Amino acid sequence: KQEVTQIPAALSVPEGENLVLNCSFTDSAIYNLQWFRQDPGKGLTSLLLIQSSQREQTSGRLNASLDKSSGRSTLYIAASQPGDSATYLCAVSPRGTGFQKLVFGTGTRLLVSP
Amino acid sequence: NAGVTQTPKFQVLKTGQSMTLQCAQDMNHEYMSWYRQDPGMGLRLIHYSVGAGITDQGEVPNGYNVSRSTTEDFPLRLLSAAPSQTSVYFCASSYSDRVLRTEAFFGQGTRLTVV
């Protein structure tokens, strides 16, 4: 059974710092990995999608990498801002079970202080 | 640009009551899913659909029922609400292209409390 783990569970940094959020998964047989952002009391906003054949994706100050063989992904946030404060979730789409059936980690709660 | 719309946003039910959580998407996506989010457990899949008329169970289907009569709508029914169903419910829709690139889009959630 695919399991997804996110470390750390919570992270507090000063504004301007570069940071890395980690996501690991137990089974490398995946279609895709997706990073989401969730603000308190809100829904999930898709940040980046990495197909299994890709190594990384970039959007603005965000860069996500994927090492499928080791079961790891990282989300790099450059020059963090208070507006980046949110919970970040990663989810994988496992092969063999239907690519629309996402398996989620429990998230990293990020606080960026001014 | 509506995307995935869920109603209601908040609901309080008494134990044993039934209700339907509504979900609609306007992106013509084939796939729709329902997840619940509980503290410390992440999102878990309840039911999903790969197209109109086709549904299947996810990880935690007990106590819930779904149907998919149109591409746009995917309601989730609680048959007899229990306190264990207190949670935040999210509906998602997704597509897949020819290279199996798939991306999921989520609604804003329904916060349900069962007393």
Q: Stretch B22-29: mean pLDDT, rounded?
A: 94
Facing residue for A100 by CB, picked from B42, B94, B108: B94
* Per-residue pLDDT band at B96 (split at 50, 70, 90): confident
CA distances from B96 to A61, B103, B104 (A): 27, 7, 9
pLDDT averaged over every residue in chain B: 92
| B75 cis-preceded (ω within 30 degrees of 0) | no
Contact yes or no for B102 and A100 at CB 8 A: yes
| pLDDT tens digits, B41-54 | 889 999 999 889 99
Facing residue for A102 by CB, picked from B40, B104, B109: B104
Long-range contacts of B54-60 (CB under 8 A, 24+ apart): B58/A101, B58/B33, B58/B34, B60/B36
At B6 the pLDDT is 97
At A98 the pLDDT is 66
DSSP B76: E
Contact yes or no for B96 and A100 at CB 8 A: yes
The candidate with the shortest Cα–Cα distance to B34, out of B113, B115, B112, is: B112
Is A46 an interface residue toward B (CB < 8 Å)? yes
Alpha carbon B112 to its chain's center: 12
